[in-house]
Each structure stands twice: as C-alpha cells, then as structure tokens.
Copies of this chain bind each other. A is one copy, B any other.
C-alpha cells in the first residue's frame, strides 16, 4: 500500500487514521501542496482532480478519502470503520459527509486563496473560522441528538466519522476556532 499524502491535508489524515485502525502498514509519498506538486503531470496521472490522498492498493489507484475508507472496510477485515446496522451506518456516514462536504471544502487551500484574492487576508480568516465553527456546531447537534453516540461518534469504538472529525479538529485548532463549549465533540477528541 502506497499513500500519496501531505502531512497537513486533512483528507489524507482521515486515511492515515483508518489505515492505523485497520492495522495496515503503508509507505507514504509526500505530494507537497504548498510547492504545487499536486498539479504535476505525475500526480494528475494518479488523480485527475489533483488532490491528495491517492492510494495504491490491490493494483488499483483510488482517490477520494471517504471512498478509500469504504474500500478498506469492504476489503480488509479487522477493526470495523462502520457498524453493522444500516441505521447506524447511515448516521456514521451522515456525520462524515457533514464534515467532508460542508466544512472541509470551504477550507481547502485553493478556495482560501481565492477568497483572499477577492477580499483580502482578513476576509479569508473570517470566512474560514466562521465556516468551521458553524459546521462543528451542526456536527455537535447531530451527535447530541443521536441515540447511538458514546465515547466516540458512534458507540465505544472509533470509526469512519472519527477518522473524519479528528483531522477537522486539528484544522479548527490550527485556525484558532474554539470548540471547548461543544461537549460531545470534546469528549470524542479526548477519547
């Protein structure tokens, strides 16, 4: 398994956590997003979207972190990333997508550069912080309301939603977004 990776990419971080939970060893090859290496022909051949992560596994080159997590779940036994019950699976996937579709895309480096180009560095910082905070508030409400929540996003074992939440919290801290008052999220972070 070869992971095309960048240390600060939270989508790559999701896959690193999942590989760790599954107990799979892998080689990491860094694609330097700050230096623009993701726009190189070599990387576009791996992933036409020009994003990380991409993963070489079973003779395939897979992209999109949540699709990679689903593939790991379907092809590798061991620690489950999804529960067995369809209703619980839907909850875990909804939490993961609430982060991957609603929070993370607006904090993408390319998007932030565009906002800065349009309205300046201050607007970029506000944009990013507001979006992360509002998104985490929604995730907190989803966790609070769920009958399935435990020490982790679902129950007592970390899974797909935790793989998605933890990198987002790293990002929140990096950008100075306080989430101390979001009790369920803090509990997951401490677990």
Give the B-binding residues of A (Cβ under 8 A).
44, 48-51, 58, 60, 62-64, 66-68, 70-71, 74-75, 86-87, 89-90, 93-94, 96-98, 100-102, 104-106, 111, 114-115, 118-119, 123, 127, 138, 141-142, 145
Give the chain B neighbours of A115 by CB distance below 8 A.
115, 118
Q: How far is the CA of A145 from the CA of B118 in the complex (A)?
A: 35
B138 lies within 8 A of A48 (CB)? yes
A59 to chain B, nearest CB (A): 9
Give the chain B neighbours of A105 by CB distance below 8 A.
101-102, 105-106
A70 lies within 8 A of B89 (CB)? yes
- Copy count, this protein chain: 2
A60 lies within 8 A of B138 (CB)? no
Give the chain B neighbours of A64 by CB distance below 8 A.
93-94, 97-98, 101
Give the chain B neighbours of A102 by CB distance below 8 A.
49, 51, 105
Contacts A105-B105, A138-B50, A142-B48 given; does A90 touch B70 at CB 8 Å: yes
